[in-house]
Structure 1
Amino acid sequence: MNPASNSFVESADPTCRLNRHAFARRAMLRNGSLVLAATALTNKMLFSKEPESNSKAVRVGVITDLHYADKSPAGSRHYRETLGKLETASKQFAANQPDFVVELGDLIDAADSVDVEQGYLKTINRQFASICDDRHYVLGNHCVDTLSKDEFLGGVEQERSFYSFDREGIHFIVLDACFRGDGKSYGRRNFHWTDANVSAEELEWLRGDLKSNSKPTVVFAHQRLDVSNNHGVKNCVDVRKALEESGNVVAVFQGHSHQNDLNEIGGIHYCTMAAMVEGSGPESNGYSVMDIQPDGTIEIKGFVRQASYRWDA
């Protein structure tokens, strides 16, 4: 396997510059199994390498499951503390300058009224929006517990809940699994969180989008596509079949179950990211910076509770 070379890239967004680095852990395919190998690199070492080639890569800042709300903790979820945790992540992103940032769902937690919920959304999004102009929001079930999809999307100035886009030769897909089994959209407590589905319309769109694309592809989702338990998308087998048949999907990044987890199915890595809301104090934070090389090699530097990985193309 050839390790990705380090490079310096200037993105289309003048606020986002890339300084490539090696990551603290590697995930390598050996005899069909995914093996993680840890290395003892400090953050300074990771992000201070001199450029070694002119190859371009895409850098992405990733967070998930902030569940921001101005309310007391419930169990292990410390809702108010996500403001401070996000501020810490913002400083890391400012240093690493991602091309874009993505939030993998459940940006807010449920409120008793629409007005209060919109206040939660305004507060947390003001801070998230300051990180980078190019940002993407995956719909989580808590995002539309009190709000409608249109209200949430309007609050974050995002036009659609599922769509695709390209950056530096890499294709990205944002999915929305907040549909009931009967095809009706989630909104205002009209659903049960275990009944998560990708709608028939969206699945048809996904197949067409994948068919028209030949670039290495990365998918962002909230509910998990690699499990069939309560945290999984009910029609995940159909979704995975579409991803596998394309032959271009490298990885899926998802949240929802609040844990670090990793599965490889049909040649695709399904990486579940740690939730920011879990636990109290800075030692309970979790966020990551991901570099995607032109050949599809992915390096993920996880911070605090978020694991680090590397997958060679």
Structure 2
Amino acid sequence: MFNRSPSRRAFLQQSSLVLTGAACFPSGLLHAEDRSPMLRVGMMTDLHYADKDPAGSRYYRETLAKLADASEKLGEAKLDFLVELGDFIDAADSVETEQSYLKTIAQPFAEICDDRHYVLGNHCVDTLTKQEFLGGVGQEKSFYSFDRGEMHFVVLDACFTSAGEPYGRKNFVWTDANIPPEELEWLTADLAATKKKTIVFAHQRLDQEGKHAVKNAAAVRKVLQKSGNVWAVFQGHSHANDYREVAGIHYCTMRAMIEKSGVANNGFAVLEIDPRGVLKVNGFRDQADYQWS
């Protein structure tokens, strides 16, 4: 198992989690003859790719090597689909430069899995518009839902100002993230229309208040809780492993790929979903492992 600090170990032991074994190729939760319901989802967040020098703990150019590391491991997992939880690219001074960042990182990412989903992060639309970013990755919408087997999945977009304006062209402050009324209404109707267990993907945090959180997170949580179907939320943005259970819903904040130098400091995961009652996060490198049942 990759080394974790004593405080991190203590946190995990005190939570409602059950720690899994070493971060390695997923071993599977069931006997081979019973595996048909299993889904495997690749997850990573906050790649912040940019062709620029390091700043603080962020090593922008090294994202390419870290993504290659993730590609090798995730390729062995036979994924059903792949999710990037936001801040795929870092901010640039011009649209042309930003589009070059996106093109450079989008190609190797696309080679990992044909079925891909991109959550909008604030850096994705710092210089670009949402339409430009989505066009660059071949995704039609910024928030939507889809089914895979016995599971329902929701992708949210909190890149809106308090006034309801979509982020783009540096028109926002990153701490002002919101799910606007129209999207909240859509989410309510979407969750009411399914009886399947549901997993939500977001960038900004929904489990707390503060600078990394969606400003109306409490209203969003109310919708998730009322549905009775939401099993877990996976999110990024604050760059460190974190976990909270709120009203029976698991909120897992993933470790940012951009942080620290070297492939040994990478972070990504395979989520194994058994719709009959087990979620297992197999973390690689510095990404923590979790299991909920």
Q: Normalising TM by the smaller chain, what interval?
A: over 0.9
- Quick check: 1:290 aligned with 2:271? yes
TM-score by length of 1: 0.86
Query: Residue 77 in 1 paired to residue 58 in 2?
Result: yes
1:45–1:216 distance in 2 versus 1, CA, 3 Å:
closer
In the other structure, the counterpart of 2:129 is 148
Greater alpha carbon shift after TM alignment, 66-75 vs 42-51: 42-51
Deviations 1:174-203 (A, max 9, x none): 000000001010001000000000011100
1:90 maps to 71
Q: Distance in 1 between matches of 2:41 and 2:176?
A: 30
- CA deviations 1:179-235 (Å, max 9, x no partner) are 000101000100000000001110000000000011000000000001111000000
Instruction: Report sequence identity in percent.
Output: 60
Change over 3 Å in CA distance of 1:41–1:286 after alignment to 2: closer
Between 50-59 and 60-69, report the one with greater CA deviation: 50-59
Q: State how 1:1-313 maps to structure 2 within 5 Å.
A: 34-38=15-19, 40-41=21-22, 43=24, 46=27, 51-312=32-293
Equivalent AA in structure 2 for residue 176 of structure 1:
D
Could you say what the CA RMSD is over the residues aligned between the two structures, in angstroms? 1.6
Deviates more, 1:33-42 or 1:283-292: 33-42
**Quick one: structure 1 residues 241 and 54, their matched pair in 2 at CA, closer, same or farther if it must change by over 3 Å?**
same
Instruction: Output the CA distance in 2 between the equivalents of 1:44 and 1:233.
Output: 34
Question: What SS does the corresponding residue of 2:86 show, helix, strand or coil?
Answer: coil
Q: Please report how far the alpha carbon of residue 51 of structure 1 lies from its aligned counterpart in structure 2 after TM superposition.
A: 1.1
Gaps of 5+ in 1: 1-32
In terms of mean alpha carbon deviation, does 294-303 or 102-111 score higher? Answer: 294-303
Given that 2:240 and 2:255 are in contact with CA atoms closer than 8 Å, whether structure 1 keeps it comes out as yes
- For structure 2, the 5+ residue unaligned runs are 1-13
Aligned pair in 2 of structure 1 residues 210, 150: CA closer, same or farther (>3 Å)? same
Aligned residues of 1:164 and 1:173 also touching (Cα < 8 A): yes
Partners of 1:256 and 1:223 in 2: CA distance: 5
Q: In structure 1, what is the Cα distance between the partners aligned to 2:54 and 2:96? A: 21
Over 3 Å counting, the alpha-carbon distance change for 1:202 and 1:88 in structure 2 is same
Secondary structure at the aligned position of 2:102 is classed as helix
Aligned residues: 280
**TM-score scaled by length of structure 2:** 0.92
TM-fit CA distance, 1:49: 8.1
Over 3 Å counting, the alpha-carbon distance change for 1:129 and 1:263 in structure 2 is same
Contact 1:260–1:274 under 8 Å retained in 2: yes
Q: Would you say the 8 A contact 2:199–2:230 is kept in 1? A: yes
CA distance in 2, matches of 1:153, 1:183: 19
Deviation at 1:297, TM superposition (A): 1.8
* Letter of the structure 2 residue corresponding to residue 136 of structure 1: H
